């Protein structure tokens, strides 16, 4: 049986992710709040721009919106096809996933929390990592659709587990971004050439995704290209800290990082990339990382 697939939310991630689907599925429906983006997607990739009420009649429905709140509000107003699977790629809130699983069960719809990592470049190259929470049978049925967009498709547990893994992953990114900012500002204060220092760290035990990619490409280059908004990272660190609180664990480093990223977000220029969090530290240290 030919499956129809829909993609809801054609933002920085969704626009690129949905572009791969026509290679694997005959019928690919797209919807976006600003509908002209859906029409542009259809013209560019051979998808079909439809109303939301039609999009939710597909066998497999992807969504990728900023927050779980956005997804819950959107789902409130629609009648979804019975027997379909909803794959939510939003970096969302675990409690929302559990609520949506229960809510959609009544309509005979499976809900998977399936956030992704790999940035817009991973969306473009279909090399994303999917971290998926929810029913194993639904995961297996949805696997081919996710595999069309990603490289590692990993089931991580019960509903909400995917969102939890994603939030902690992004918290680790934030911790690293901030610590590299402090470390490299210190090196600059000591007169060290930062490109040379980066070469050494990237061949040593302190290397990370931030030192290998984010610092050279975004911070030291002073480009700060806006592909992953700072408000989204602030949201993710907030979700991670809520998880810590729920678990009643001490996490001083994570709490401090959440607060720093929150402050960076409040003081940043509107529409800043997450890497621009480094600019808050620059404003304190009076050192420009270049
Ligand atoms: P964008 O801000 O680029 O896009 C958001 C999309 O959601 C747009 O299509 C927007 O529509 C739509 N939207 C926003 N609010 C609503 C609403 N209330 N109802 C319906 N549609 C809405 O975000 P990203 O694509 O960057 O991120 C999406 C999700 O993916 C986030 O949860 C983010 O944390 C996560 N993520 C992002 C990554 C990145 O590198 N950018 C990497 C991994 C995960 P419109 O065009 O009308 O504004």
Going 225 to 226 to 229 to 230, the CA torsion angle's sign is positive
pLDDT at 1 over 70: no
| pLDDT band with cut points at 50, 70 and 90 for residue 130 | very high
Atom of ligand 1 nearest to the CA of 69: 18
Q: What pLDDT is stored for residue 102 in this prediction?
A: 98
Going by CA atoms, what residue is nearest to atom 26 of ligand 1? 12
pLDDT at 78 over 80: yes
The DSSP letter of residue 229 is B
- Residue 272: enclosing H or E segment and its boundaries? none
pLDDT at 124 over 70: yes
Q: Ligand 1, residues 6, 10, 12, 171: which to mutate, most atoms within 8 A of Cβ?
A: 12
pLDDT at 289 over 60: yes
CA of 9 to the centre of ligand 1 (A): 6
**Overall average pLDDT of the 264-282 stretch:** 98
Rounded Cα distance, 150 and 144, in Å = 10
**Overall average pLDDT of the 215-241 stretch:** 98
Q: What pLDDT is stored for residue 137 in this prediction?
A: 98
Please list, in sequence order, all residues whose beta carbon lies within 8 angstroms of the beta carbon of residue 29, skipping any fewer than 6 positions away: 4, 5, 6, 7, 47, 48, 49, 50, 54, 55, 58
Tokens 């290209």 locate to 225
Q: 182-192 in b/e burial notation, b at 16+ Cβ within 10 A? A: eebbebbeeee
Q: What pLDDT is stored for residue 85 in this prediction?
A: 98
Q: What pLDDT is stored for residue 87 in this prediction?
A: 98
Q: Ligand 1, residues 14, 19, 38, 66: which to mutate, most atoms within 8 A of Cβ?
A: 66
Q: Which residues are catalytic?
A: 166
Mean pLDDT rounded to a whole number for the chain: 98
Q: What pLDDT is stored for residue 120 in this prediction?
A: 98
| pLDDT band with cut points at 50, 70 and 90 for residue 11 | very high
- Residue 215: enclosing H or E segment and its boundaries? none
Quick one: what percent of the chain has pLDDT higher than 90?
A: 99
pLDDT at 2 over 70: no
What CATH number should be reported for the domain whose range is 164-285?
1.10.1040.10
Determine the 3-state secondary structure of 255 from DSSP: helix
Quick one: what percent of the chain has pLDDT higher than 70?
A: 99
| pLDDT band with cut points at 50, 70 and 90 for residue 236 | very high
- Domain at 5-158, CATH from 3.40.50.720, 3.40.718.10, 3.10.50.40, 3.40.50.300: 3.40.50.720
Beta-bridge partners for 229 = 273
User: Rounded to two decimals, what is the model's pTM?
Assistant: 0.98
The DSSP letter of residue 59 is S
**Overall average pLDDT of the 183-187 stretch:** 98
Q: What pLDDT is stored for residue 143 in this prediction?
A: 98
CB 66 within 8 A of CB 88: no
Ligand 1 site: residues with CB under 6 angstroms? 9-14, 32-34, 37, 64-66, 70, 74, 90-91, 116-117, 119-120, 227-228, 232
Domain locations in the chain as residue ranges: 5-158, 164-285
Going by C-alpha positions, the residue among 130, 192, 184 that lies closest to residue 161 is 130
**Overall average pLDDT of the 158-179 stretch:** 98
Q: What pLDDT is stored for residue 114 in this prediction?
A: 99
pLDDT at 16 over 70: yes
Q: What pLDDT is stored for residue 206 in this prediction?
A: 98
pLDDT at 212 over 80: yes
């Amino acid at each position: 049986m030919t499956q129809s697939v829909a993609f809801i939310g054609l933002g920085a991630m969704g626009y690129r992710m949905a572009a791969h689907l026509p290679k694997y599925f005959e019928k690919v429906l797209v919807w976006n709040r600003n509908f002209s983006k859906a029409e542009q997607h259809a013209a560019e990739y051979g998808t079909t721009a439809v109303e939301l009420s039609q999009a939710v009649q597909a066998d497999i429905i992807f969504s990728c919106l900023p927050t779980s709140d956005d997804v819950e509000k959107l789902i409130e107003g629609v009648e979804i096809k019975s027997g379909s699977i909803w794959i939510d790629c939003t970096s969302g809130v675990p409690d929302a996933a559990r609520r949506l699983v229960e809510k959609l069960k009544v309509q005979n719809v499976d809900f998977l929390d399936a956030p992704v990592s790999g940035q817009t470049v991973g969306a473009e190259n279909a090399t994303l990592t999917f971290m998926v929470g929810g029913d194993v049978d639904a995961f297996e049925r949805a696997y081919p659709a996710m595999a069309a967009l990603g490289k590692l498709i990993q089931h991580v547990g019960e509903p909400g587990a995917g969102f939890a893994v994603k939030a902690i992953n992004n918290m680790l990114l934030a911790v690293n971004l901030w610590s590299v900012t402090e470390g490299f500002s210190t090196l600059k204060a000591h007169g060290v050439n930062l490109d040379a220092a980066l070469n050494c760290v990237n061949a040593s035990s302190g290397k990370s995704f931030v030192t290998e990619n984010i610092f050279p490409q975004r911070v030291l280059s002073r480009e700060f290209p806006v592909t992953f908004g700072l408000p989204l990272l602030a949201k993710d660190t907030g979700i991670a800290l809520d998880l810590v609180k729920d678990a009643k664990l001490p996490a001083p480093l994570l709490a401090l990082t959440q607060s720093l990223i929150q402050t960076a977000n409040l003081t940043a220029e509107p529409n800043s990339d997450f890497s621009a969090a480094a600019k808050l530290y620059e404003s304190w240290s009076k050192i420009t990382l270049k």
